[in-house]
Amino acid sequence: MHLAYPAVLAVLLFCTGLYGVLARRNAILVLMSVELMLNAVNLNLVAFDVWLRDALHSGQALTLFTIAIAAAEIGIGLAIVLAVYRNRGSSDIDRLRDTAETDEAETLPDGDDDGDDGGAASGTEDQATAPAGKAKKAEATP
């Protein structure tokens, strides 16, 4: 058998997986695309092992290690995706990226970021702490 057939198939599998990683927004589909890419590597390892007629069959041994790593990756990856889905309600990668990027100015009060006013509020309340501050004022006033 020629080496070109499994090599072309491996290239097609790898390109399909790469497209899936770059174009998909669902985390589970991205994990499946990574699995396609790893299977393309496995196909190349076995094809070159047969083509080189290696006595130690090192290509097949490396394929077994790659399969073990792929199984661990999919197990841990699915556990992370399920935990994120339970917490956030979505496995969309773009939404997860947007929630991870927080601006530090939103969490700090307006007067505390420069340190020159001695901790006094500058008159405008932070939108995140405004409801809590109003609730404390309502409890304090008789």
Note the pLDDT tens digit of each residue in 5-37: 999 999 999 999 999 999 998 999 999 999 999
In the chain (142 residues long), the average pLDDT of successive 10-residue segments reads 93 97 92 96 94 89 95 94 89 75 57 53 51 52 54
C-alpha torsion 32→89→86→33, nearest 10:
10
Is the entire prediction scored with pTM above 0.75?
A: no
* Averaged pLDDT of the chain: 80
Instruction: Extract the tokens encoding 65.
Output: 């290690």
Give the length of the chain: 142
Instruction: Extract the tokens encoding 43.
Output: 């196909």
